[in-house]
Amino acid sequence: MVKRLLSITLACLLLAGTATASITTNVQQTVDEIIRIVSDKEMKKASSEQKRRSAIKKSLSAIFDHEEMAKRSLGKHWNQRTPAERKQFVDLFASLLENSYASKIESYNNEKVVYTKELIDGDYAEIKSKIINQKQDEFTVDYRLLKESGGKWMVYDVVIEGVSLVSNYRTQFNKIISTNGYPELVKRLQTKSNEVKMQ
C-alpha cells in the first residue's frame, strides 16, 4: 500500500499544471528542477545514477519537512524518544522517503497535475489537486503544508485518494513498536533504506 501511495505521490511532483496561488511557488520550482534532472540526457546514464539520485533528493528536501513528517508518523512514540533517537529516526525516515521517491521519479511517464483549490487556516494550508495520467484516469492528491518560522511553506503530509501518507506510516510504525518494540522499527527502517539504495 505504501509503495503504491509513494508511486502516485511522485506523479504529482513530476509535472505540475498552472500554479493557482503563491503558496504553490516552492512546489512549482521544485517540480521544474526535478523535471530538468530526470530529462537531462547525461543524468539518465547509468554512470550518473548516484549524481542523479543526489540531485533529486536535494530537490525534494526543498519542499518536504522530513522532521515534521517523521514526528507525525511516529505519533505518541515521539515523546518517548531521546534527542539522539529522534535525530536517528528523522534521518532514517528521510532516507527511506527520498530513496523511494527517487526510484519512482525515474520512471516518470508524463503525468499531469491540475491544482483545483487552496485552503489556508493560519499557519496551515492545504492544496487540492488531481493527477491525470495518459489513460485519462484521475487521482486526487492533497498537499498539507505548514508555514515555518522563516515564512516558507513546507509539506508535512500528502493525502492520496483520501489516504494520508503520514497516517498510513503511523499505523504501521505503531503496530511494529507495540508488537516488537522501538528498536525493531529502527532495524526495519535501516534494512529497508539499504534495500532501496541498492535498487
Strands 163-164, 124-132: pairing kind: unpaired
* DSSP per-residue string spanning 60-85: HHTTB-HHHHHHHHHGGGGGGS-HHH
Overall number of domains in the chain: 1
Q: Tell me which H or E stretch contains 139.
A: strand 138-147
User: In this predicted structure, what is the pLDDT of residue 16?
Assistant: 42
CATH assignment at residue 63: 3.10.450.710
Give the H/E segment covering residue 92. Answer: helix 83-105
DSSP secondary structure string, 171-195?
HHHHHHHHHH-HHHHHHHHHHHHHH
- Give the containing element (helix H, strand E) for 34: helix 25-39
Scan for cell 518560522, then name that residue. Answer: 149
pLDDT of the chain, 199 residues: tens digit per residue: 555 555 555 554 544 444 344 787 777 777 678 778 877 888 878 788 888 878 888 888 888 899 999 999 999 999 999 999 999 999 999 888 877 766 666 666 677 777 888 889 999 999 888 878 778 888 888 889 999 888 888 989 988 889 998 999 999 999 999 999 999 999 999 998 777 555 5
Domain residue limits at 136: 2-198
